[in-house]
Amino acid sequence: MQIILAAPRGFCAGVNMAIESLELALQRFGPPVYVYHEIVHNKWVVGDFGSRGVVFVDDLSQIPPGSNVLYSAHGVSPEIRQASEERGLNAIDATCPLVTKVHREAIRYAREGYVIVLIGHEGHDEVVGTLGEAPDAICLVAEEEDVNRLDLAEDQKIAYLTQTTLSVDDASRIIARLRERFPHIEGPARQDICYATQNRQEAARLLAEQADVVLVVGSRNSSNSQRLAEIARTGGVPAHLIDGPDDISREWFSGEETVLITAGASAPENIVQRCIAYLQDAYAADVRTHSVREEKVHFILPRELRT
């Protein structure tokens, strides 16, 4: 068996910053530290912090007044910020700056009287946060068919924004359809799908061509991990989204395959290494890393933790 280890893979700058922020908050304030929603969508990261006194909540009413609460990399709506203030919580904002950029764009377009078409997945934490910035000005579309159903006046100013972790190809198709229906639609000067999502997808697309099977390390609720598996399948290669080595099935292999391993932006590298160790042990697999792009992005810690 040959293993192609994709690079870049795994943690992005936003996830690194969010995890470092939570580590620092735990050290500085001691447990419990509360996090609104999962810090990142990965069961290992959430489980590890949970065992060390971090409490993940889906409702601010679960947090005692005066406590420390951290907002995850996916960001929150203004409603949550206000509710947190009213409850007297000490908020630490670990929202990824690339998500904040989308929030700012939504606020600007709404202020200038645009209807905003947000391309994203309903119910995803990031989308809920962005929608909350201008709930009366945003309509959500997830697929090309949703564009056909939009009922907007001819002279209405329209702009589109996207969730940061979409499939680049799917988003391009939806944007093309939007431009067809609304030729005057405007969009952000720079792509909203983030650098980490684009780079991991590019690596998966290029390297899957050389593979018989693709393993994507990441949790089921991780949007960007799901997209990586979809990209491989679109290229005709069977792909499995796995949380770790326990999810690997021997039925997927004869032992002669070339296996591409990649990981979503919220999947820890030690789990990737455990999956490799499993395949080396079971099939004497050889590993070579194939890098399609270098990443040097780093985000500074939230203001509340910088002193």
Q: Cβ contacts of residue 84 below 8 Å, gap of 6+?
A: 36, 60, 69, 91
Toward ligand SF4, which CB reaches closer, 160 or 283? Answer: 160
Residues 222-241 that bind ligand SF4 (CB under 6 A): 224
Toward ligand SF4, which CB reaches closer, 68 or 165? Answer: 165
| Distance between first and last Cα of the chain | 50
Nearest to 26 by CA among 60, 57, 49: 49
Determine phi and psi for 33, rounding to 5 degrees: -110, 130
SS3 13: helix
Task: Give the shortest CB-277-to-ligand SF4 separation in angstroms.
Answer: 26
- Please report whether residue 196 would count as binding ligand SF4 according to CB under 6 A: yes
Sign of torsion over alpha carbons 147, 152, 158, 164: negative
Task: Determine the interface stretch with ligand SF4 among 12-20, 22-30, 47-55, 235-243 (rule: CB under 6 A).
Answer: 12-20
- Please indicate whether residue 126 is annotated as part of the active site: yes
Task: Give the shortest CB-223-to-ligand SF4 separation in angstroms.
Answer: 9
Task: Choose the catalytic residue: 126, 133, 230, 257.
Answer: 126
- Please report whether residue 165 would count as binding ligand SF4 according to CB under 6 A: yes
10-to-70, 271, 280, 292, 306 alpha-carbon distances in Å: 22, 10, 20, 14, 25
Nearest to 93 by CA among 156, 44, 160, 21: 21
- Please report whether residue 117 would count as binding ligand SF4 according to CB under 6 A: no
The single residue among 1, 5, 6, 13 that binds ligand SF4, judged by CB under 6 A, is: 13
Q: Which residues bind ligand SF4 (CB under 6 A)?
A: 12-15, 73, 96, 98-99, 164-165, 194, 196-197, 224, 265
Active centre residues (catalytic): 126
